[in-house]
């Protein structure tokens, strides 16, 4: 069995390719070549399918989904779904494949064709709420995949771990009162989008770990162990999903947390140990943020290398 499947499609390079935006095509255009240069033996690369649109409705308001799908331009215009979420004519296929990657990955994991998967997708998803796009995110890729696990495969004890430097307000919003899902987030606070305080607890299924600007590796790792790993051991999840944002890297321009790519290897290994103990290694990881291109590429490679060990 191939340990790790990496999902990627060149459509992800066609989402707003001409706009000078932090969430740009350059974030992902070199990553497959970089992976191939590593000669990793426990990994294979797959092109994701476009999602069946009906599956999006599980995580989002139906009218919002239909209205959004009708807004994508067919010409060279750029349309803003909110002030931080532009889309272009290449964005529709990219958006549908980004959501579809999680569905395809889950099927392969549960059919035992791989143990885990990393979906290198654009646009990201964790800011997309039940009824609105925001913060570079059109639909919530992780939430859609989570509901697929619940509705198609009857999972009832899922852990979502979000280590993007920005709080995943959309994911929290969608699962705030869902007994089948626990949501964990480390994030700089205060910072966009302004949510993620410790008093946001849902039905005791939301675990926010706000970080002060300037937080360094040792403090971060201690907090991750104390606030997340210990709670995961209590939860004993039957599936782990990662919102893998790499913008807590010290070189990232949009925040001020001082992690290195090695920290992402350590985080990944800790989550793999939890997955090995409680859910037969099953992990789905999906790309969220990360806006210094070199730091993002190094961090993604560190994450992937650890997953395929």
Contacts of 123 by beta carbon, 8 Å cutoff, 6+ apart: 15, 23, 85, 87, 91, 94, 95, 98, 136, 137, 138
Beta strands per DSSP E along the chain: 4-7, 43-46, 79-82, 85-87, 116-119, 158-162, 181-188, 206-211, 239-244, 283-287
| 102/75 Cα distance (integer angstroms) | 28
The active-site residue, picked from 9, 15, 126, 127, is 127
CA 233 to chain centre: 22
- Active-site residue 9, yes or no? no
Contacts 24+ apart (CB under 8 A), 10-14: 11/90, 11/93, 11/94, 11/97, 12/94, 12/97, 12/98, 12/120, 12/121, 12/122, 13/122, 14/88, 14/90, 14/91, 14/93, 14/94
Task: Write the Ramachandran bin of 290: left for phi over 0, alpha for psi from -120 to 50, otherwise beta.
Answer: left
| 169/161 Cα distance (integer angstroms) | 13
Query: How does strand 239-244 pair with strand 158-162?
Result: parallel
**For residues 213 and 257, is the Cβ–Cβ distance under 8 A?**
yes
* Residues catalogued as catalytic: 127
């Amino acid at each position: 069995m191939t340990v790790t499947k990496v999902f990627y499609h060149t459509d992800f390079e066609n989402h707003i390719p001409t706009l000078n935006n932090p969430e740009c095509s350059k974030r992902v255009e070199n990553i497959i070549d970089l992976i191939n240069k590593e000669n990793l033996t426990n990994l294979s690369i797959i092109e994701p399918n476009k999602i069946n649109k009906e599956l999006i409705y599980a995580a989002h308001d139906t009218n919002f989904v239909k209205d959004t799908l009708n807004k994508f331009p067919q010409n060279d215009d750029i349309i803003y779904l909110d002030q931080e979420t532009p889309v272009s004519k290449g964005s529709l296929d990219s958006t549908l494949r980004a959501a579809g990657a999680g569905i395809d990955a889950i099927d392969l994991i549960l059919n035992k064709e791989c143990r885990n998967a990393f979906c290198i997708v654009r646009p990201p998803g964790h800011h997309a709420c039940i009824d609105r796009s925001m913060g570079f995110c059109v639909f919530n890729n992780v939430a859609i995949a989570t509901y697929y696990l619940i509705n198609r495969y009857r999972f009832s004890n899922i852990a979502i771990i979000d280590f993007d430097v920005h709080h995943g307000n959309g994911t929290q919003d969608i699962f705030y009162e869902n007994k089948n899902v626990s949501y964990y987030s480390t994030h700089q606070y205060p910072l966009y989008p302004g949510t993620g305080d410790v008093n946001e607890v849902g039905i005791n299924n939301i675990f926010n770990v706000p970080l002060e600007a300037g937080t360094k590796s040792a403090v971060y790792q201690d907090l991750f162990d104390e606030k997340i790993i210990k709670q995961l051991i209590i939860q004993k999840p039957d599936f782990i999903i990662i919102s893998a944002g790499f913008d807590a890297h010290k070189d990232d321009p949009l925040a001020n947390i001082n992690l290195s790519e090695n920290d992402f290897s350590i985080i990944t290994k800790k989550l793999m140990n939890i997955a090995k103990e409680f859910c037969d290694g099953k992990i789905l990881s999906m790309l969220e943020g990360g806006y210094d291109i070199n730091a993002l590429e190094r961090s993604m490679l560190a994450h992937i290398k650890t997953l395929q060990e």
